[in-house]
Structures are given as structure tokens and as C-alpha cells.
Amino acid sequence: MNNMNVKKTTTGLAILVAGLSFQAHAFDTEQVQNNQASYANQFNQLDVNSNGSLTMTEAEKDKSLNSQLFTQADKDNDGTLDKDEYAEVKTQVGEKKVSQVVSDSVITTKAKAKLLAEESLKSLKISVETYKGEVILSGFVVDESMKAKAEQLVATVEGVKSIKNGLVVKS
């Protein structure tokens, strides 16, 4: 097998392995309806005076909301959120979380692929985790140059904000 075929095979394997670590979730209509019902229940729990609207004080008890989100959600500028405004802002917060998870998964997948494609690294002994663009490398390498090489490769992946290199040199 020539060098080019080895790289193609390794890259294909990397994509397969990385793909197996990526989990996709399908949403159905019933689940969406359940989420909307859940938002209505959350709204009712926060609406302590049962007047059908949330003040900033009531809404702040929801840890996922802050004053900036409250102000953005208050479409009619009446200083309160009705059920529709609350559901909309909760949906936006949820979508942002999903987007971040997908972005982190893509970074992890690309980093694993780069490590697997590098012949000099025993990349199956390197674990890659990503949270909000911060990549954490862990596992074992044979020497300091391989530790630095792994970090350099991962640093070239789009979206990586920082790297914590926890690789251990195993003698």
C-alpha cells in the first residue's frame, strides 16, 4: 500500500470513528408539543400572582433567563412576558444550546480525524473532548514532540478557541 492509500484509508477510518461518536436526535411533533406544554407549566409556576404575565422579578427565577433576554422577549414592551413571549424566548435559549453542542461535536470530529490521519501519532490512545470551543486532549503519547504535534494539529481545526493539553508522555 502506498503512502497516499494509507492516508485515504486512515482519513476514511477517522471519519467513521468520529461519526460513531456523534449522536443525532430526531424530534417528532409530539415531542415539540410536549415541550410547549412544558413551557406553559414553567410559565404557570413562575407566574406567582396568576395574572397571565411574568414580571422581570418572576422571570428571573428561571435560571436560563436574564434581563437582556427578558427585554428582547418583551415584544410589546409592556415590561412583562405573556405565555407566547415566554415560550419564544425559551425556544431561542434551547436552540442556542443545541447549536453549541453541534458546533462542539463538529470540532471534536474534525480534531479526531486530524489526529487519526497523522501516522506518527497513536491517535487511538488520544481522547478529544470539546466544550464551548475549548478542546481537552487526554491520553498517552510516546514523547514530548508527539504531545506538541497533537496540540498543533488540533489548533488548526476551525472553531477551536483554546486547547488544554492533558496528554501524558508514557516512557
Tell me how far apart the alpha carbons of residues 140 and 128 are, in angstroms, rounded to a whole number: 12
How many other C-beta atoms lie within 10 A of the C-beta of residue 65?
20
Q: What domains sit in the chain, N to C, each tagged with a CATH number? A: 29-99 (1.10.238.10), 101-169 (3.30.1340.30)
What pTM does this model have? Answer: 0.52
pLDDT along the chain (171 residues), means of 10: 47 45 41 61 90 91 88 92 90 79 88 90 83 92 92 93 93 73
